Structure 1
């Protein structure tokens, strides 16, 4: 009888020991605020996505307080490292874009491993790209632009918003597809790059619709094509052909955003956040806000953590080959 009592008492103690953990996971996040680290400056396209997502996540997370922490610098690696080193409890998250798949090739040394030091929570959206030119560009359509590019190889200035920026990556892919080398001109952000494009100091740029749509609508730049497999429905962009239909077979690039937590985050917390994320991605207001940025909210299996990680691994392989071939990397 004593042995049976001791066994029951031991089992009860074990339940008592682990019960707080179970309750904590089920009640996550409770009264404690969640921080979403954005590894870019406030006001940029990734920051806007993060703030819209934070608002959409609040309801499915029980009215949680969610704050945005802009930790910009070094091609997003500073903010990304901050999350990699954070306590793995679900209260510090990362929202990053395609840079998660390009940093391994762009930087010789990183203080983290993209594939091994994070818990993947799900993709958020896809952002199309547009090929634009200075307003004085002679070409009237993409076919004429491609002829102009071939004729002026070596004399073309191709702007971008800095190493690892979406515009930098799209520019690399464009040069690779056309088998033409251009002079890449990096800027400290999208705004000064587009300002010089409008002023005619550079010739071309390939950037996100979140940055280019207002300039296209205002007639400040010339737009030639989009980088998606199908034409876009956005009023200002609906008449633009895709680069694929214009002759660059297989050319497709979108800038995606994903949500991450530090490695070791409890499975129950991961499931709670992922469930909230999937609810947020169905929120009509969030979908509308993303459409206004030219972004498409993810509805496929990449919302799931395992598929998200599988997708990023494939992107690392894709962009690694392109970046290494171009020889463009940081120390």
Structure 2
């Protein structure tokens, strides 16, 4: 799938430790509950992905894996908490593409957004959808673009704060249609979705894990998916290319992190559990319902994750700098 498959060949070497069996020093880990911090509000797309992964990982680890939401400041509040946590494997972070944009968006942080973490493995790459309130005066992307260009000063667009996936997607949308809108930040896309459903927000760009059920129920309008191909979960929704806006493409990847200094044998054990979770038929089926799939096993490793993450930081840096929008 997408970029992960193209990088899988370069990550094969990362599988060697797992072929040799579980590290002996990790035999006592874990011995108690593990907390996975989601740096966004409950009910949002990253929260949904995390809860599915946590449940499955917990079965392999033989311990409860709880999810704790610490939203705000574009995901940096939750990330800071994990970066400053004890590096013992019991406090983890599941974050999305914001981990690649934060180093540029934020010029002053109380933690190191790159050096403060150990990578555990990638999880999934989720497509985005452009949705609108039910009575938005358009039914196709072409019609929506006309309305946006005509009424840009009157329309409002929701996001989960600077650096959130919805913010990045909105930047690409407004650049593609050359029409800025009033943006309304929320503490997460869960609360933002409630405002769209209530008709108080006009538009939002969000991950399929948060929009598929609302789209299929008819609770919101949908104009496009930001993928090269249509999604099985949304077969009647055209791609941005089909809809006439090929430059409007973005996928939101997710990864699992531990604080810097977490022992290698612990991150290896966590990565092993993540790989088991991503093979779980129930998780795969639920991901499919939400319009996404797990990454290839080769990408759910610390080495492959770090390589991919650093490459995406380099990709987004000039885009953010050109936009001139910073969170601080």
TM-score interval for Structure 1 and Structure 2 normalised by the shorter chain: 0.7 to 0.9
Please identify the structure whose Cα radius of gyration is greater: 1
* Shift in Å, 1:224: 0.8
Measured in 2, the distance between the counterparts of 1:220 and 1:32 equals 41
Residues 1:311 and 1:250: Cα distance change in structure 2 (over 3 Å): farther
Q: Comparing 194-203 with 279-288, which one deviates more in the overlay?
A: 194-203
1:206-217 equivalent positions in 2, closer than 5 A:
206-217=205-216
Counterpart of 1:240?
Answer: 237
SS at match of 2:87: coil
* Shift in Å, 1:239: 0.6
Deviations 1:42-100 (A, max 9, x none): 34332332222122112332x12323333333222122112212222222221112221
Counterpart of 1:97?
Answer: 96
Deviations 1:189-243 (A, max 9, x none): 3344334434544432211222222332232322110011211001xx2111111
Counterpart of 2:277?
Answer: 280
- In structure 1, the gaps of 5 or more residues are 1-21
1:1-331 equivalent positions in 2, closer than 5 A:
25-61=25-61, 63-234=62-233, 237-299=234-296, 301-331=298-328
SS at match of 1:296: coil
Whether contact under 8 Å (2:227, 2:250) holds in the other structure is yes
SS at match of 1:41: coil
Deviations 1:264-291 (A, max 9, x none): 2222222222122111110111212223
Measured in 1, the distance between the counterparts of 2:196 and 2:26 equals 52
Measured in 2, the distance between the counterparts of 1:199 and 1:65 equals 36
Measured in 2, the distance between the counterparts of 1:187 and 1:272 equals 36
State the TM-score, normalizing by the size of structure 2. Answer: 0.83
Residues 1:205 and 1:59: Cα distance change in structure 2 (over 3 Å): closer
Residues 1:48 and 1:199: Cα distance change in structure 2 (over 3 Å): closer
Measured in 2, the distance between the counterparts of 1:165 and 1:289 equals 23
Measured in 1, the distance between the counterparts of 2:228 and 2:68 equals 34
Whether contact under 8 Å (1:172, 1:323) holds in the other structure is no
SS at match of 2:60: coil
How many pairs were matched up?
A: 307
Measured in 2, the distance between the counterparts of 1:26 and 1:195 equals 43
Q: Comparing 308-317 with 123-132, which one deviates more in the overlay?
A: 308-317
